[in-house]
Structure 1
Amino acid sequence: MLVSITPLAEFAYNNGVNVSTGKTPFFANYGFHPKFAVGDKEGQGLAIADNHAEWLQKGYDELKAALTVSQERMKEYYDRKHCAPEEIKVGDQVWLDNRNIQSQRPARKLAAKRIGPFKVLAKIGKQAFKLELPHTLKIHPVFPVALLSLKRDDPYERDPPQPPPEVTPEGDIEYEVEQVQDSRRHRAKIQYYVKWLGYNEWTWEPYEHLTNAPELIADFHRRHPRALRHPQVPRPPRT
């Protein structure tokens, strides 16, 4: 059954209006909309042909309707997640999605999904805003509205929980290691099992990701002298 309706599904998609472009893929490529019309023609009045034509038309209509519903749901989901440009005004406080900001936290899933809030200084064009960023965060201060979310007033004066990031002199966001529990060799490299401050999750990290935690690594090796040690971790002097 799936194979039999695949051409119909492809036709319905290519003849459906794309939300982003406002045009169908057919029209964008060829400059016209193909007609979908099958049915009884002169000399072709066989009942079986009419039944098949009716089945094709019904299948096309159902697929087109399903595609329309899917596009509406995608638009609704996008609208819920993003501010419209007219919602954000100069002077507002906004959260910044950090997907384009370099982080020293190697486990990307643990990094704060947004940072801030920051004050809006100016509207740039129709879809971007300039933010007041700390001088240590050395990145361009203009961002598209898709990366911004308005800081809403909370009657209980609560802010979303945020881990305590620091900003390095190079302008990178850095996170603090709370504890080192184990070490192992993985793909010819020594890794350490660490817990990040402000999170409950533990992750395996190479030594190069933990250069801001030399004391914790040294303490781990003092407690576990036989554990695998990275070559750059100094050994305690022999007594």
Structure 2
Amino acid sequence: MEFCLAGQQVKLQGEKGIYNQEIQLHQLRRLTTKKEVAYCYQLISITSDSQHLVAVPPKIQELLEEFKHVFESPKQLPPQRHNDHQIYLQTETASINVKPYRYPHYQKSEIEKLVKEMLESGVIRPSHSPFSSPVLLVKKKDGTWRFCSTTKRCFPMDTEAQNAFEALKVAVTKAPVLSLPDFKKPFVVETWEEITMDFIIGLPSLGGKTVIMVVVDRLSKYAHFSALHRDFSANKVASIFVADICHLHGIPKSIVTDRDKVFMSIFWRELFRLSGTKLHYSTAYHPETNGQTEVTNRGLEQYLRCFTMESPTAWLTYLPWAELSYNTSYHSAIGCSPFQVLYGRLPPPIHSYEDNSTSVEAVDVMLSQRDAMLRQLKENLHRTRHRMKQQADKKRRDLQFKVGDRVLVKLQPYRQSSLKRQTYSKLRRRYYGPYEILERVGSVAYRLALPNPSRIHPVFHVSLLKPYKQNPRFHPTQLPEGLAEGQPLVQPLAILRKRMVHQESRVEEQLLVQWEGWNPEDSTWIPTIEFRRAYPQFDLEDKVDLPRRKEIDTDLNAVTSEEMNDMNEVIFPLLLSLHFLLFSGSCGHPTIA
């Protein structure tokens, strides 16, 4: 570094080979006290302003020279102009005289300096007016200060204006801070209010059980697995649901399921309608709508497959351990295990077993097999989830339609139970239409304008639709034969009973009809007149004997009592659990104080 000192050029150069080390302030003070420091220098980097100069174009330079007086510092008050700034006051308005603001010492000195400069230049002059207004200093980008004068205007302050002013004052003077919850009050974690359900069928028979009912909480991801017999019905599923789910978590607010015959049965829908539970169904032939349960099903199947390859009928033995491992494992979607979300604490550890720690051989074998099984279950869970996510992402696509667009719909006759069975249906046409889109149902389903007598549901998932492009060589295709017959959707199978019901001032005859393809508990009462109108080809002669007039009241009471007995098996436990939940105050959810 070179500089000029007393007319002489001085050059400072560091010595090579000397180790330089930073020191702290107290060390510098100690060295100064011992007089071991001769001089202290402060190095400041100074950049030349010439480096930032930009060449001005000739035309702009001429313009600046022509109006040079505009950019000069003012030396006097501005001249009189056609439009001068002035503040108009209302009549009988008192003079506005506001006391000055309080300023820091350094700003007070700056104000006095600026006022003195403006008085000397003639920009301002002393005034004896009764009006006054405070001034503010606003800092510019170059570090200098700008002189600003503030004026106030009086407005009528009514109640609304006063409240607005107070709210503004609070918002300006107080920093926004998130309020902390009152930990003295209990709060409820809303788990097991929305659940999903599904079945895993086709398992090897063990004690007559070949089905697993999977129930998953949508918030905590906690799951329960229950084994069912092969001949399960809506009545039996409801009983298992009360025994395994309701007595632990209460009655849910909503249930998401597929369109299984159990979930679509009248018994199931009526039961949960009376319980206050909303039933939501997935789109037909698109199980991804209930993807959470489908993924859980595949993971559970992978668990059981790994441990029952040599003995498939032993799957029921490993089912409780699979449920425990699933609920205590880490889930990336919630950032912890479902057990921790539900109970607010970490899962209790399962102590590992050391070989030969007991003299009882049966206990030693059992605990050794348990540890090996749990380790393998957790490894399979992570591997299965990763593989499922990769495979599912390969087939997904982002496809959207608008109302009024024409699309082709994909039908699969060998899976569509409402289609007429055809020979070699696997080689038949897949896409039919085009049909117009009437509305969008949710985010991934659309309602189509199908023919009126169509026997299939008009709502389709986006994966079953294809955009229709106008092509002169393409001929529109109608729905296959047997799909557009003008027949009722469900055909009666048998007439079980007949009864007479008092309707206001008349007596109405009703029939208990068992429907084709439905379970016996889904039989419904229908007025005879409506039944004859809907099914004129069904012969009611000799189906059931009509009771005599004297037996009407007795038969009506007997039928009503029998109907109630049929439903007591499921409704009574539900009502009992609901009564307990309402008066216990916990509603099946953990309460944290």
Larger radius of gyration: 2
TM-score (norm. length: structure 2): 0.20
Larger strand share, 1 or 2: 1
TM-score (norm. length: structure 1): 0.39
Instruction: Select the structure with the greater relative contact order (CA < 8 A; seq sep ≥ 6).
Output: 1
Larger helix share, 1 or 2: 2
